[in-house]
Structure 1
Amino acid sequence: MTAAPASAPPPVGVRRLLPATQAQRILTVATFANSFGGGMFTTASVLYFTRVVGLPAGRVAMGLFGGAMAGLIAGVLVGRLADQWGPKRVHICVMLGGGVAISCFTLIGSFWSFFAVSLVAGAVIPADEASKAPLIRGVAEGNPTLFIGYLRSVTNLALAFGSVAAGFAIQIDSRPAYLALVVCRALAYVGCGLILLRLRLPETAPDPAEEAEEKDRGWAALRDRTYLSATLVNAVLSLNYAASGFLLPLWIVGHTSAPRWMVSAVLVLNMAFVVLLQVPVSRGVHDARTAGRRMAWAGAAFAAGLMLMAFAAGTSPWTASALLLTGMGVFAFGELWYAAASYEYCFGLAPARLQGQYAGVFGLGSGAVEAVAPAVMSLLPLGMGLPGWLALSAVLLFAGLGSGPLVTWAGGRR
């Protein structure tokens, strides 16, 4: 009796698009599901809160700010829990909790109910990132920077699909359509958690002496000068996300003669760069020295890209469009270099068995900047014009150039 033939492996082209191991593929599918739901909700959530619930935009901003502040605490605490109780268990609990929290948005009818739910829902994203970091490190086979670059490409692709799906609900513009998006977002969280039940992390033999030493360290990440310096630099450079997501749409519509559809064009261009190039760009980053160099490149690219987009004001529609697209192309390379360096700092400078705690502290800096970034953008570029653009560009440029020397200096003093 002959043995059944083995199943044929996927074509070479398909294998190149998939992660190497089953654990990586499971985490990738879970990430795609979660990000798809995030793309739907992020695109339409403000419209739901204002048009369906009936909240003023200022009240919505207040609730989201409260959630961001709650997230600063949640990320650090949940990251430490992931180290102590196991990242898979904690991350699945965060995903299921996120599904419950988001679904409560369907029940709100006043500002205070919205604010209460926002405090819980706002804590989910930092908790998600902090508890997911040890999972990434566990399945990345020694190269988390490259694998998370792959995950970032997948995330942006899923966000794009989610945004397109949300566009149909926005076009319908009815209460049932918006409620359906909220429910789908909750289901995406739950689906992500259920997919992760199949995840099997590689087993490593525990070292009793190492475990005892780590218990004595307590909040080691808060005393690690090298890591804190990298966290500080990363936080300052994380202003780039608000520049592309908050500043640029307002600048294009209110201060340039470019057509309104250019807002979508530059954001799609940015997303295409991330999807296609994040993995190749991440390959050359393997230690703190190369990460510092990429941070310097990122700072220079951010400054150059921002200035090109700033000069779009006061020009013809064609010139403004050309400057905006060119500026975003330069800016997107900065985002790619920044992301690769940021991942290396987050993972490469952290002890493996304390990755959750360290990732929580790392996210603390960027989360604080994210909360104040809209005010910074409103005060500098939107409020001051060209001098504000120069100031923002200078901050990003010098933060990037100073990244490597600062981390090296802090490491020498540790």
Structure 2
Amino acid sequence: MNRDSGRIVRRLLLGSGINGVGGGVWFTVWALYLTRDLGMPPGRVGLALMAAGTAGLVLALPTGALADRHGARRVLMLLHLVRAAAALAYLLVDGLAGLIAVAAVFNGAQVVGTGVNGALVAGLFEGAGRIGVLARIRAVVHGGNTLGAAGGALVLTVDEHWAYVAAIVFNAATFLAAAALLRGVPEAATTGRTARWAGLRGAAIRDLPYIAVMAPVAGLSLCWAMLSTGVPLWVSEHTAARPAVAAGAVVVSSLLIAALQTPVSVRVRDTARAARAAALAGVLLAVGCLLLTGASGTTAAVAVVVVALAVLAHVAGELLFVAGQWQLSLALMREDRRGEYQGLNAALTGVVQTFAPALVAALVGGLAGVGWVLLAAVFLACGAPVVPLARRAARSRPAAAGAPPAPVG
């Protein structure tokens, strides 16, 4: 890596890390801010956030196409500014309609930003360097989330309106800092024109082999709701372990991912390894689900051990899923439509994330151990077809992208 590349990476990492701290604060306090401080019924909050989640899905492809034309860096800076304004707008929310509007902008920009960030990295780096940078960004974001969660815990301890306001203002400031740091990053190459219908009828949305691969891989992102929603419900309602065990599981998971995402990701170098990584991720996540069923009906000590083993399986599965998703989404895309393809990848994952918490809560909260078995089956079903689908998609690349096929063994 030359000096200029090193400077670019440092700016990307610093901006992502600062933003990660703000995200950790917000993720920790948002639920109690909306329900306890503002007095909104939890059911309405959940409904509003689910409705708002569709905004990012609708906007991901058009925004990706705009990034292809106007530059991913420029568009990502604008998204940071939009999220800063939307974060502050939470201070003005006074009803369900206002919450839906603010959350639609805030959450929608998050989904869109994931794809644009991937397009920016893809435009600035080549080959294995792309995966290495994405992995390091994810590592610093997780580290920042952990630090931010500690700050959020202090806010919850104070549990006063002024503390929630301070947390929201701080989160908004981190988006401004991330945008400012992007000013020192060069612009990625652009295509000079926008795809038909701003991406809604462009190359990515018509690339069925690409969608066939990335859709089941996106399904593996259920692993995030498994940890954030399923484990707390299960530990508190069906095991003898204290609820704090679930919080500890999230912290341990974040620390392990921060430490291991880069070394794992750089070993997933081509399409063949990425497909196998995604398939294995499905198996490991299914194992984690089945292990959790063993935590019920035991002593507290045994439950803690079983949950710990399940979390380790979950972490291994998540590491492989993320590395596989990155490599597949980059190796199979058209280089002249990076924004479109990364926007599509973000939209597919966003679809899953919009409904994942409700699905996991229904399975685990409503069906108990049977729910974990069903969730394990979902993970296996998502991972199983990835290898043959990736092989088929790789063979279609010459016609789709004018490039030699990606290596698939």
Question: What TM-score, normalized to structure 1?
Answer: 0.90
Q: Equivalent of 2:177, from 181, 191, 195?
A: 191
* Matches for 1:325-404 after TM superposition, within 5 Å: 325-404=308-387
Question: What TM-score, normalized to structure 2?
Answer: 0.91
User: Cα distance, 1:199 vs. partner?
Assistant: 1.1
Query: Aligned partners of 1:410, 1:345: CA distance in 2, in Å?
Result: 10
Listed as ranges, the gaps of 5+ residues in structure 1 are: 1-14
Secondary structure, aligned partner of 2:267: coil
Query: Aligned partners of 1:141, 1:170: CA distance in 2, in Å?
Result: 43
Equivalent pairs, count = 393
User: Cα distance, 1:241 vs. partner?
Assistant: 0.9
Q: Equivalent of 2:267, from 280, 284, 308?
A: 284
Any conservation in 2 of the 1:233–1:400 contact (CA below 8 Å)? yes
Query: Aligned partners of 2:176, 2:192: CA distance in 1, in Å?
Result: 32
1:113 aligns with 2:91: no
Q: Equivalent of 1:316, from 299, 305, 309?
A: 299
Any conservation in 2 of the 1:19–1:25 contact (CA below 8 Å)? no
Query: Aligned partners of 1:19, 1:61: CA distance in 2, in Å?
Result: 45
Q: Equivalent of 1:41, from 26, 37, 48?
A: 26
Any conservation in 2 of the 1:288–1:404 contact (CA below 8 Å)? no
Q: Equivalent of 2:156, from 162, 170, 176?
A: 170
Identity level (%)? 27
Q: Equivalent of 2:39, from 39, 51, 54?
A: 54
* Matches for 1:248-259 after TM superposition, within 5 Å: 248-259=231-242
Listed as ranges, the gaps of 5+ residues in structure 2 are: 400-409
Query: Aligned partners of 2:237, 2:4: CA distance in 1, in Å?
Result: 43
Go from structure 1 to structure 2 and tell me whether the alpha carbon gap of 1:393 and 1:19 turns closer, same or farther (over 3 Å shift). farther
Paired residue for 1:10?
none
Query: Aligned partners of 2:371, 2:155: CA distance in 1, in Å?
Result: 37
Paired residue for 1:137?
122
Paired residue for 1:3?
none
1:146 aligns with 2:132: yes
* Matches for 1:195-344 after TM superposition, within 5 Å: 195-201=181-187, 219-344=202-327
Go from structure 1 to structure 2 and tell me whether the alpha carbon gap of 1:384 and 1:213 turns closer, same or farther (over 3 Å shift). closer
User: Cα distance, 1:215 vs. partner?
Assistant: 7.0
Structure 2 counterpart of 1:23, which letter? I
User: Cα distance, 1:412 vs. partner?
Assistant: 4.5
Displaced runs of 4 or more, over 6 A: 210-217
User: Per-residue displacement from partner, 1:191-239 (whole Å, max 9, x unpaired)?
Assistant: 111111111247x6x8xxx868977995100111221012211221111
Query: Aligned partners of 1:271, 1:398: CA distance in 2, in Å?
Result: 26
Query: Aligned partners of 1:400, 1:53: CA distance in 2, in Å?
Result: 42
Paired residue for 1:78?
63
Secondary structure, aligned partner of 2:385: helix
Q: What's the RMSD between the two structures over aligned residues?
A: 2.2
Structure 2 counterpart of 1:362, which letter? N
Any conservation in 2 of the 1:38–1:159 contact (CA below 8 Å)? yes
Paired residue for 1:4?
none
User: Cα distance, 1:382 vs. partner?
Assistant: 2.4
Structure 1 counterpart of 2:331, which letter? G
